[in-house]
């Protein structure tokens, strides 16, 4: 059965110069483009937040970026304002070969819940529709790349594994934020879930 490539959030705000820049985020674009050119089916995800999204530190009086708050669906990291829908920061990196994609999936549109995964929002109940889209096309394996490895990439891969897909992450086409050991924590969770980490 064929494999889908899921390219996570390769957007201006996650690249150097952006409001939530992942170190070296733009350096992955050539590797991602090579994978896009040879993919059987490619999906691009795109953070697309309202300006007052609950994950932004500016939505909480006295909060600063990377604070953590409690929500009805668990702990939530507060981020700098990023990827507001319709702004340049939400655009894909200008060199990303978006023409190879069969689907662009926007996430994080609901003000009151964040969306790290391409499959499930952070309330862990609301689906994005990606699982049904892939199943309808006979996909049983997923390769995940993009930004950031320790947040949206890992969450997407973990959810794909839980849904029964064979999952691999191509690390050369990813970069991580890696705050407070987040990358090591993500690696451990991915290994435990049977996700293959390839260079």
pLDDT at 1 exceeding the cut of 80: no
107 catalytic per annotation: yes
9 catalytic per annotation: yes
pLDDT of residue 142: 98
pLDDT of residue 4: 98
174 catalytic per annotation: no
Among residues 13, 15, 47, 107, which one is catalytic? 107
Among residues 15, 83, 152, 174, which one is catalytic? 152
Q: pLDDT class for 47, splitting at 50, 70, 90?
A: very high
Q: pLDDT class for 138, splitting at 50, 70, 90?
A: very high
Question: pTM of this prediction?
Answer: 0.97
pLDDT of residue 164: 98
Q: In which residue are the tokens 């952006």 written? A: 18
pLDDT of residue 69: 96
Closest CA to 20 of 78, 98, 75, 94: 78
Closest CA to 45 of 112, 96, 84, 103: 103
Among residues 9, 47, 114, 131, which one is catalytic? 9
Q: What is the mean pLDDT of the chain?
A: 97
pLDDT at 165 exceeding the cut of 80: yes
Query: Is 85 within 8 Å of 107 (Cβ atoms)?
Result: no
Q: What CATH number does domain 3-50+81-198 carry, 3.40.50.850, 3.40.50.11540, 3.40.50.720, 3.40.640.10?
A: 3.40.50.850
Q: In which residue are the tokens 């407070």 written? A: 180
Closest CA to 92 of 24, 45, 157, 27: 45
pLDDT at 121 exceeding the cut of 90: yes
The domain limits of the chain are 3-50+81-198
Q: pLDDT class for 95, splitting at 50, 70, 90?
A: very high
Q: pLDDT class for 124, splitting at 50, 70, 90?
A: very high
Q: In this predicted model, what pLDDT tens digit does every residue of 172-187 receive, in sequence order?
A: 999 999 999 999 999 9
Q: pLDDT class for 97, splitting at 50, 70, 90?
A: very high
| Average pLDDT of the segment spanning 11-15 | 98
Helix axes 182-192, 154-162, angle to 10 degrees: 20
């Amino acid at each position: 059965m064929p494999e889908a490539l899921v390219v996570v959030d390769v957007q201006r705000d996650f690249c150097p110069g952006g409001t939530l820049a992942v170190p070296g985020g733009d350096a992955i674009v050539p590797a991602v483009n090579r994978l896009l050119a040879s993919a059987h089916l490619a999906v691009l995800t795109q953070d697309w937040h309202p300006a007052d999204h609950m994950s932004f530190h500016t939505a909480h009086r006295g909060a600063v970026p990377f604070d953590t708050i409690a929500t009805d669906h668990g702990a939530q990291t507060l981020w700098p304002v990023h990827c507001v829908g319709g702004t340049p920061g939400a655009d894909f990196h200008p060199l990303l070969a978006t023409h190879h994609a069969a689907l662009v999936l926007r996430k994080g549109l609901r003000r009151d819940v964040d969306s790290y995964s391409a499959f499930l929002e952070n309330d862990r109940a609301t689906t994005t529709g990606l699982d049904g889209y892939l199943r309808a096309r006979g996909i049983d394996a997923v390769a995940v790349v993009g930004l950031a490895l320790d947040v949206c990439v890992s969450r997407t891969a973990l959810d794909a594994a839980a849904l029964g897909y064979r999952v691999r992450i191509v690390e050369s086409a990813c970069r991580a934020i890696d705050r407070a050991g987040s990358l090591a924590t993500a690696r451990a969770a991915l290994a435990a879930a049977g996700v293959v980490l390839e260079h």
